[in-house]
Amino acid sequence: MKNAFVTLVTNADYVMGATALVHSLRRTATRADIVILHTHAVTAQQLEYLQSLGCRIIAVDHLPLSDDFNQRHARKNLHGAAPFTKGRKPDFHTPLDNFCKLRLWQLTEYRTVVFLDADIVVLKNIDKLFDYPEFSAAPNVYESLADFHRLNSGVFVAKPSTDTFERMLEALDQPDVFWRRTDQTFLETFFPDWHGLPVTMNMLQYVWFNMPALWDWKSAAILHYQYEKPWEADHPKAERLRPLIDLWHAFHENRDIPDIAGLPNPSTTSAGAIA
């Protein structure tokens, strides 16, 4: 049976993200399929280029969730009940759309699936992830050691199964349930004994300035632009993330990519950390 990398796009902004992601995956010469799940808000024309890169394009519906559930997880209500204090989500980010990720458990033609957020670029071949068990994910580390308790759902290894998908739907939409970080909180709860991937498999961009000692271009395999997106013009953290943003644009425009292992790591002096 085959394996696949899967991402999700629900609007034109994340199509841009997926374009850089697919360019980066193609450079790794992966043998796995690349699947783009998209909601009906995305047009065929917006997906044409990704298709020309050999991606499988699959339309998905939102999950069949109750009106109450959808209300509680609507952007305005979620941001009100569980405000983001450490970074800012772009206006084009709709929390409810995140749950569409769970549709990948319906892709039962694949033995193993590696989900990658559309705001990711892959820096080296990561096909070995297909040999990892369900459910594997890296910790949500970008500020402090306490972050190691939680997973980040931007990268994970899953085994598609209709049975698992149905059990997820049952567990997801409980009366009054509130998943404060949407699919991430849900997956952490559904797979309480999740397997840990190393941080190199999901380097979060804030590590660059919050925990520079953890940064290592030689071992980093997946770079994840959580919170502000690299294609947002002049976002609040753009100055501090300049080298990472420049790298994203090189992938997006499919330009020459510098030797990643040779890039300078962030300075670990306090001045460097603040700059």
Closer of 71 and 200 to Mn ion (Cβ) = 200
Q: Decide: is 119 part of the binding site for ligand UDP (CB under 6 A).
A: yes
> At its nearest, how many Å lie between Mn ion and the CB of residue 117?
3
With CB under 5 A as the contact rule, which of the stretches 146-154, 159-167, 234-242, 260-268 interacts with Mn ion? 146-154
Distance, CA of 87 to CA of 155 (rounded, Å): 19
Closer of 87 and 212 to ligand UDP (Cβ) = 87
Query: Taking CA 164 as the corner, what is the angle to CA 162 and CA 167, rounded to the nearest 5 degrees?
Result: 110
For the beta carbon of residue 161, count every other beta carbon within 10 angstroms. Answer: 15
Q: Decide: is 147 part of the binding site for Mn ion (CB under 5 A).
A: no
> At its nearest, how many Å lie between ligand UDP and the CB of residue 16?
11
Query: Taking CA 252 as the corner, what is the angle to CA 51 and CA 119, rounded to the nearest 5 degrees?
Result: 85
Q: Decide: is 117 part of the binding site for Mn ion (CB under 5 A).
A: yes
Distance, CA of 193 to CA of 133 (rounded, Å): 12
By a kind-dependent CB cut-off of 5 to 8 A, residue 118 interacts, out of ligand UDP, Mn ion, none, with ligand UDP
β-pairing, 151-158 with 136-139? antiparallel
For the beta carbon of residue 187, count every other beta carbon within 10 angstroms. Answer: 23
Residues that bind Mn ion (CB under 5 A): 117, 119, 154
Binding site for ligand UDP (CB under 6 A): 7-11, 14, 93-94, 97-98, 117-119, 154, 226-227
